[in-house]
């Protein structure tokens, strides 16, 4: 996607505990590695405690204005309430990446928006990668947008995962590949 | 050095350590908690002190005592907590002590909201404590500026012997951006004891007394006049703004709102409107000369804030009624979006 657009605004939404903020941080870190301008902005407050949670990430070739994404080019969504809330905000020409094992909604994507489904939470359980549905989603994102590479993702993981949890890097890469090859 | 991705709050806290801050006193409040959390971890490792006080009032009075003993120190809070600190800030200013106070603004009045806001502009620039005082106020607009202005805040505080406020907001505190600490040198963290410090000396010199009480009016008047001479020097040397010249419509905003305005002004320019941005780096002193320079060819000025309109007063004062000034704001915890500001600019253009 970086070949087509100078800036991409991403909104990642789901429940607290699904790794929504971590996914955003990983995407921002990948942008930083690629020499882009990046911002990451969480929703903060009581919503974090078991409620819905979302996070804005902007990746751009030029300095970024508002870090709050209201009209995303790309929505990554991991629960039904967030799907219903944000699906109509996607810009024309944009993309929705939906965890189809968690989202169950009648609401259609707006005209001009492409939807990709992946049962990420189910795949995570099947592959003994509990809690890594978010990373499987990220793998699918890399596949469908070509916005970055698996190598950059691995570099970013190495930067943001602390040494004491180093064993998680390989598991995260496994999750990314499952999403990428789905 | 390589840039790292950090939250504004954490970056500010790291900058304070690198600027030689030795003591931090605070009390938790959203959305600035990462400052305290970061310093609780890092301060003891750098030989400093992190102390969570019993309240904001306790924290600011610890800053008063700490600054009085000549130790570089800081406190941070968010809007309701800053209200509690104002008594202490007035005493610190009245005793001519350097320190840094951070306000990561949230919605008010009262407990208000925990979402971003800029509704403490008047409080910061007009009434940050009782008495004849001003406090320099720095307004960062990016995570990098949270870092750079923390260094600047300590240097202004010590050069002019005054508390200095960093006026951020929930967006700047919570967002992550790549940041570099290249601006710091190891010598920044070295602090020598100032000659006025009330510290232990084993009767080797006369006592230093730190006080804000003057029973003789003539004494107090002289002290205040001298202090205001320092404010004049701060105005001369420390006032800052970034802006574009020759715009027909000048859009003024500070802090995170200035980022949104940047996007809106760019949209306006793409649509053939000669708009330009003006962003104060200091709110006191307000960059009056710079604003007049930016407005030389302007026909109208728009001020955008996350409040019902507070800085707009300073814009009008600086322009001395020579130009019409309009206001657009969101309050209650809303961050304005670029489209609504762009629409306002378009509306102004059509009315010219």
Q: What is the CATH number of the domain that holds A122?
A: 3.40.920.10
CA distance A149 to chain B (A): 20
Q: Determine, for residues A65 and B263 on separate chains, whether the beta-carbon distance falls below 8 Å.
A: yes
- Over the range B103-139, which residues count as b (16 or more CB within 10 Å of their CB) and which as e? bbbbbbeeebbbbbbbbbbebbbeebbeeebbbbbbb
Average pLDDT, chain B: 96
Number of domains comprising chain A: 1
Q: Is residue A106 part of a domain?
A: yes
CATH topology of domain B241-351: Rossmann fold (3.40.50)
Q: Determine, for residues B170 and A66 on separate chains, whether the beta-carbon distance falls below 8 Å.
A: no
CA distance B205 to B296: 56
- Compare CB distances from B176 to A37, A39, A68 and report the shortest one's residue: A39
Q: Is residue A2 part of a domain?
A: no
Domain segments of chain B as ranges: 4-238, 241-351
Q: What angle do CA B72, B77, B79 make, to 5 degrees?
A: 135
What ipTM was estimated for this complex? 0.92
CA distance A16 to chain B (A): 17
Query: What's the confidence (pLDDT) of residue A49?
Result: 60
Q: Determine, for residues A32 and B3 on separate chains, whether the beta-carbon distance falls below 8 Å.
A: yes
Strands B300-305 and A52-60: unpaired
Q: Determine, for residues A32 and B5 on separate chains, whether the beta-carbon distance falls below 8 Å.
A: yes
Decide if A68 touches B, using CB distance below 8 A: yes
The low-confidence residues of chain A, meaning pLDDT below 70, are 1-5, 46-50
CA distance A40 to chain B (A): 5
SS3 category, A182: coil
For the CA atoms of B336, B172, B181, A36, the dihedral, rounded to the nearest 10 degrees, stands at -40
- Compare CB distances from A65 to B174, B178, B262 and report the shortest one's residue: B262
Query: What's the confidence (pLDDT) of residue A46?
Result: 64
CA distance A50 to A178: 27
Helix (H) or strand (E) holding B94: helix B79-94
Query: What residue ranges in B217-314 does DSSP mark as E strands?
Result: 241-243, 249-252, 275-280, 282-284, 300-305
Decide if A30 touches B, using CB distance below 8 A: no
Q: Is residue A149 part of a domain?
A: yes
Query: What's the confidence (pLDDT) of residue A50?
Result: 63
Q: Determine, for residues B171 and A67 on separate chains, whether the beta-carbon distance falls below 8 Å.
A: yes
Q: Is residue A165 part of a domain?
A: yes
CA distance A120 to A118: 5
CA distance B347 to B225: 46
Q: Determine, for residues B263 and A44 on separate chains, whether the beta-carbon distance falls below 8 Å.
A: no
Cα–Cα distances (Å) from B100 to A83, A115, B188, B199, B350, in that order, read 44, 50, 15, 20, 45
Find chain A residues with C-beta within 8 A of B178's C-beta. Answer: 32, 37-38
Q: Measured between alpha carbons, how far apart are the two ends of chain A, in Å?
A: 19
Q: Is residue A1 part of a domain?
A: no
- Compare CB distances from B338 to A28, A45, A66 and report the shortest one's residue: A66
The residue segments making up the domain with residue A141 are: 7-180
Which site among A41, A49, A53, A62 would you substitute to test the B interface, given the most B Cβ atoms closer than 10 Å to its Cβ?
A41
What residue has token string 């300095």? A63
Q: How many CB pairs under 8 A join A and B?
A: 60
The CATH H-level (homologous superfamily) assignment of domain B4-238 is Thiamin diphosphate (ThDP)-binding fold, Pyr/PP domains (3.40.50.970)
Q: What is the mean pLDDT of each run of 10 residues along chain B (352 residues)?
A: 93 97 97 98 96 98 97 98 98 98 97 96 97 97 98 97 98 97 87 89 92 97 98 98 97 98 96 98 98 98 98 98 96 94 98 92
CA distance A153 to B210: 56
Bridge partner residues of A7 (DSSP): A60
Query: What's the confidence (pLDDT) of residue B331?
Result: 96
Q: Determine, for residues B174 and A25 on separate chains, whether the beta-carbon distance falls below 8 Å.
A: no
Decide if A64 touches B, using CB distance below 8 A: yes
């Amino acid at each position: 996607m970086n070949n087509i657009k100078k800036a991409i605004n991403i909104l990642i939404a789901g429940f607290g505990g699904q790794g929504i903020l971590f996914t955003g941080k990983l995407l921002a870190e990948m942008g930083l590695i690629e020499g882009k301008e990046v911002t990451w902005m969480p929703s903060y407050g009581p919503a974090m405690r078991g409620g819905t949670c979302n996070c804005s990430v902007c990746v751009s070739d030029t300095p970024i204005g508002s870090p709050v994404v209201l009209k995303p080019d790309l929505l990554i969504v991991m629960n039904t309430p967030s799907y219903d809330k944000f699906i109509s905000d996607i810009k024309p020409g944009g993309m929705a990446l939906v965890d189809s094992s968690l989202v169950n909604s009648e609401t259609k994507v707006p005209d001009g928006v492409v939807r990709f489904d992946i049962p990420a939470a189910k795949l995570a359980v099947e592959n003994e990668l509990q809690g890594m549905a978010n990373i499987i989603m990220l793998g699918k994102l890399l596949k469908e947008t070509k916005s970055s590479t698996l190598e950059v993702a691995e570099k970013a993981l190495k930067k943001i995962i602390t040494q004491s949890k180093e064993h998680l890097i390989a598991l995260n890469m496994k999750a990314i590949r499952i999403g990428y090859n789905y | 050095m390589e840039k790292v991705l950090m939250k504004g709050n954490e970056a500010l806290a790291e900058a304070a350590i690198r600027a030689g801050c030795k003591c931090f006193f605070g009390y938790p409040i959203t959305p600035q908690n990462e400052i305290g959390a970061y310093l609780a971890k890092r301060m003891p490792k750098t030989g400093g002190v992190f102390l969570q006080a019993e309240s904001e009032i306790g924290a600011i009075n610890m800053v008063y005592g700490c600054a009085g003993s000549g130790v570089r120190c800081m406190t941070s809070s968010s809007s309701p907590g800053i209200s509690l600190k104002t008594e202490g800030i007035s005493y610190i200013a009245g005793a001519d002590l350097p320190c840094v106070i951070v306000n990561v603004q949230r919605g008010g009045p009262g407990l208000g909201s925990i979402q971003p806001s800029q509704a403490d502009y008047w409080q910061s620039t007009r009434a940050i404590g009782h008495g004849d005082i001003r406090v320099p106020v720095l307004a960062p607009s990016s995570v990098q500026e949270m870092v750079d202005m923390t260094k600047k805040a300590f240097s202004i505080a010590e050069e002019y012997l005054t508390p200095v406020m960093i006026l951020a907001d929930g967006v700047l505190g919570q967002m992550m951006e790549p940041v570099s600490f290249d601006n710091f040198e190891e010598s920044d963290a070295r602090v020598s004891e100032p000659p006025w410090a009330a510290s232990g000396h084993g009767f080797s010199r006369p006592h230093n007394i730190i006080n804000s009480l003057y029973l003789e009016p003539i004494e107090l008047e002289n002290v205040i006049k001298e202090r205001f001479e320092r404010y004049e020097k701060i105005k001369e040397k420390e006032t800052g703004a970034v802006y574009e010249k020759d715009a027909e419509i000048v859009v003024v905003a500070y802090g995170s709102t200035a980022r949104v305005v940047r996007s809106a002004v760019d949209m306006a320019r793409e649509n053939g409107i000669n708009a330009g941005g003006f962003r104060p780096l200091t709110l006191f002193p307000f960059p009056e000369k710079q604003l007049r320079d930016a407005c030389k060819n302007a026909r109208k000025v728009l001020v955008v804030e996350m409040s019902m309109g507070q800085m707009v007063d300073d814009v009008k004062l600086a322009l001395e009624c020579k130009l019409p000034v309009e206001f657009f704001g969101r309050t209650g915890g809303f961050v304005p979006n670029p489209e609504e500001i762009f629409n306002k600019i378009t509306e102004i253009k059509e009315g010219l």
